[in-house]
Amino acid sequence: MKQSILIVDDQKANLVALEATLADLDNVEIISATSGPEALSILLKQTVAMVLLDVQMPGMDGFEVASYMRQRSKTRHIPIIFLTAINKEESYMFKGYESGGVDFMFKPFDPFVLLSKVRIFLELDGRQRQLEDALSKLKQVKTSNEVLLRSVGEGIIGVCLKGTITFVNPAAEMILGVHSSALIGQHLYEAVIVSTHHAEKTGWFHTKLYKACSEGRAFHTDVGVFRSHHDKMLPVEYTASPTHSPSGKFDGAVIVFKDITERKKIEEKLHYMAQYDALTELGNRKTCLARR
């Protein structure tokens, strides 16, 4: 990625000297300005990695330019190296630091020293851009995942290592008839899953779901019962899969479920039809044999 350096000096000869010094830098664009207002105008339009700024300029001096830069969010964090040929007093230098400068170079400056400092700031800028790019990509992935989770038809509930609900997608809200705000922060086995298994009543860490996920396995059941709106019992089929931290450590689970009420009704109807005559509703031969 190409980087840019803005050099500001009212003397053309000084700009030429700076450009010659910086010519050894690879993949770097040098932008020059001969006044404070011109420099600020450039900074509004272009992104630069750093600014080499002459202090003694007519009209708007370097300290004023730096102060204006610090007032704008776009230019606030751009490193500034002041270039000066006059005053080396501490009070003068402190004024420069207070206005936003990060370093001073006194004319005539050593080209090797200037290049060394510039390279350091360019490297920092490069790392900052890489970090911003990585964060941007991470944000895009997160947004895409959230859209995906919110658009699927099956209910999805996420829980942390302790079983506390951390995520509920819209499909889960619709199936359960409960808003996510009423579920997030609650324990999975208190707010959603209804269990009659003794071990599961004694604690989260004894549940089959937790044991399977903590061992890196998925837990599946088609005879689950979830608590829905007004404590109505809802038959569900669900699969719980383990989630992991960036370091690979088990840190919770994601439960994907669907309402199987209609399926249960069909199964019950088929079971009834297998036991009773459709016309007379009397027990058939299979029922009679079962009663013997």
Higher-pLDDT residue of 150 and 219 is 219
pLDDT tens-digit map of 81-134: 988 876 555 555 656 666 666 788 888 888 899 999 999 899 989 998 899 899
The whole-number average pLDDT for the span 148-153 is: 71
Predicted TM-score (pTM) of this structure:
0.55
Question: Contact, 19 vs 46, CB < 8 A?
Answer: no
State the pLDDT at residue 279: 57
* Residue 189 in tokens: 């086995």
Least confident among 76-80, 188-192, 266-270: 266-270
State the pLDDT at residue 199: 47
**Residue 71 neighbours by CB distance under 10 Å:** 10
Least confident among 103-117, 149-163, 195-209, 239-253: 195-209
Residue tagged 């992935």 (tokens): 141
Cα-Cα-Cα-Cα dihedral sign, residues 92, 98, 103, 109:
negative
Class of domain 152-259: alpha beta
Residues whose CB is less than 8 angstroms from the CB of residue 73 and which lie 6 or more positions away in sequence, other chains included: none
Count CA atoms within 13 Å of residue 109 on its CB side.
25
Question: Contact, 198 vs 219, CB < 8 A?
Answer: no
Residues whose CB is less than 8 angstroms from the CB of residue 248 and which lie 6 or more positions away in sequence, other chains included: none
Assign 196 a pLDDT band (cuts: 50, 70, 90): low
- The CATH number of domain 3-141, selected from 3.40.50.620, 3.40.50.2300, 3.40.50.720, 3.40.50.300: 3.40.50.2300
Higher-pLDDT residue of 74 and 97 is 74
The whole-number average pLDDT for the span 254-277 is: 80
Assign 149 a pLDDT band (cuts: 50, 70, 90): low
Higher-pLDDT residue of 152 and 92 is 152
- Give the start-end residues of each E strand in 20-154: 28-33, 50-54, 80-84, 103-106
Question: Contact, 104 vs 84, CB < 8 A?
Answer: yes
Residue 283, pLDDT > 90, answer no
State the pLDDT at residue 29: 94
State the pLDDT at residue 39: 95
Query: How would DSSP label each residue in 57-73?
Result: -SSS-HHHHHHHHHTST
Higher-pLDDT residue of 103 and 161 is 161
Q: What is the mean pLDDT of the chain?
A: 85
Higher-pLDDT residue of 235 and 151 is 235
Q: What angle (nearest 5°) sits at the alpha carbon of residue 92, between those of residues 19 and 72? A: 65
What residue spans in the chain does CATH classification 3.30.450.20 cover? 152-259
What residue spans in the chain does CATH classification 3.40.50.2300 cover? 3-141
Percent of the chain with pLDDT over 90: 53
State the pLDDT at residue 277: 61
Residues whose CB is less than 8 angstroms from the CB of residue 249 and which lie 6 or more positions away in sequence, other chains included: none
Cis amide leading into 58 (omega within 30): no
pLDDT tens-digit map of 224-245: 999 998 889 999 999 999 999 9
Cα-Cα-Cα-Cα dihedral sign, residues 195, 200, 201, 203:
negative
pLDDT tens-digit map of 30-69: 999 999 999 999 999 999 999 999 988 999 988 899 889 9
